[in-house]
Amino acid sequence: MHALECEQLTKVYRSGIRNKREIRALQEVSIAVESGQIFSLLGPNGAGKTTFVKILLSLTHPTGGRALVLDRPVTESRVRRRVGYLPENHRFPAYLTGEQVMMSFGSLAGVHRSALSGRIDQLLTLVGMQEWRKVKVRKYSKGMMQRLGLAQALVNDPELVFLDEPTDGVDPVGRKEIRDVLRNLREQGKTIFLNSHLLSEVELVSDRVAILDKGKLLKVGTVEELTTTESSYTIGCQGPLPDALRTEADARVLGVTFSAEGVVAHVADPAALNAVIDLLRKHGVLITSVTPQRSTLEESFINLIKREIPS
């Protein structure tokens, strides 16, 4: 089952009265997210990530396309009883205490008052805010606001949670705690939709990742799929490599570099990889492994965005 599904989602902002300027924030984006996954949306500033989430929460109206959340159209307000949301740069009413925020927004989310107090206790403990519950939020730090925001997003025990930059302003220990909360939610079968700039964080928790740039969906896949460099392989070798091998490899322009771990082959296709392996065997080299090279998510992300710049 899909927790959310959208087809050809498009959003065009128009500004100016006489010379109407068009900004294409989303261009025919189609994404489906399976239930029980942590799905992350990545992209540089202005890529359209927040617009995408806002459409799914009915904060923004799409110009075209179709979007379903938990199998219901996003315009149905009732479906949001089953959804939680932590907006980026959220502002809770400063005159409320943490507990009052939870009580008020929990009631607005449709949670019965009798069920709320137990739930609030549980969530404030989970995010480490129990001792601050009676303090007005105007006295909270950025990190504390994020923790409270996360608790607020979970107050209605949602099936699907949208988190926009959840670790923004949170210290490293707090980030680890938030990651643990997310993993725990996934174990409970919840779906988490994450918007984040922190690629290393995303890499640690996400099941699937989508990359968005200038409103276009560039790639969707698992972290492994996105970080695997298709054309580079590390070939593990035992013993020293003969000089004749180096000379022949250079002469035949096989795209081979030599390192302490063995040989790194930069090849266009499997046939070229096999040609390198044949060469190694011809020179009597004992091959112990052939591993596709992996880059970090950050490297893959930057490479993908750079490739798109000329277009």
Partner 1 sequence: MSILVLIRLTLRELSSKVTMYILAGISTLVLLGLALAVSVDSMADGEVLKLFGQQVSPPVPLEELAKAVQQMQAGLAGGLFTGIILFGVFATAGVIPDMLERGTVDLYISKPISRWELLLGKYCGAVAAIGLNIIYFLAGAWLVFGLRCGVWDINLLLSALTMTFMFAALYAMVVFFGTWTRSTAASIILTYLYLFILGGILHNRELTLYLISENAVYRGVIDGFYYLFPQISGMQENGAKQIMQVEMDWKPFLQSFFSGSVFFLAAAVILKRRDF
Positions that interact with partner 1 (CB under 8 A): 13, 54, 57-61, 77-81, 83, 85, 87-96, 100, 104-105, 107-110, 152, 162
Query: Tokens 């799409």 identify what position?
Result: 62
User: What's the closest the beta carbon of residue 98 comes to partner 1, in angstroms?
Assistant: 14
Q: Would you say 160 or 220 has its CB closer to partner 1? A: 160
* 172 exposure class (CB count in 10 Å sphere: 0-12, 13-18, 19+): exposed
Q: Would you say 193 or 233 has its CB closer to partner 1? A: 193
Minimal CA–CA distance to 217: which of 67, 16, 8?
8
User: What's the closest the beta carbon of residue 100 comes to partner 1, in angstroms?
Assistant: 8
Q: Can you tell me whether residue 292 is helix, strand or coil?
A: strand
Contact 263, 246 (CB under 8 A): no
User: What's the closest the beta carbon of residue 108 comes to partner 1, in angstroms?
Assistant: 4
Q: Would you say 107 or 122 has its CB closer to partner 1? A: 107
Q: Would you say 105 or 233 has its CB closer to partner 1? A: 105
User: What's the closest the beta carbon of residue 162 comes to partner 1, in angstroms?
Assistant: 8
Backbone angles phi, psi at 160, to 5 degrees: -130, 130
| Length of the chain as a residue count | 311
Contact 199, 193 (CB under 8 A): no
97: which DSSP letter? Answer: B
Write out the H or E segment, with its range, that includes residue 176.
helix 172-187
Per-residue burial over 7-26, b if 16 or more Cβ lie within 10 Å, else e, is eebbbeeeeeeeeeeeeebb
User: What's the closest the beta carbon of residue 181 comes to partner 1, in angstroms?
Assistant: 19
Q: Would you say 48 or 87 has its CB closer to partner 1? A: 87
User: What's the closest the beta carbon of residue 205 comes to partner 1, in angstroms?
Assistant: 22
Q: Would you say 61 or 281 has its CB closer to partner 1? A: 61
User: What's the closest the beta carbon of residue 277 comes to partner 1, in angstroms?
Assistant: 55
Q: In whole angstroms, what is the distance from residue 157 CA to residue 154 CA?
A: 5
Q: Would you say 60 or 300 has its CB closer to partner 1? A: 60
Terminal C-alpha separation, the chain: 35
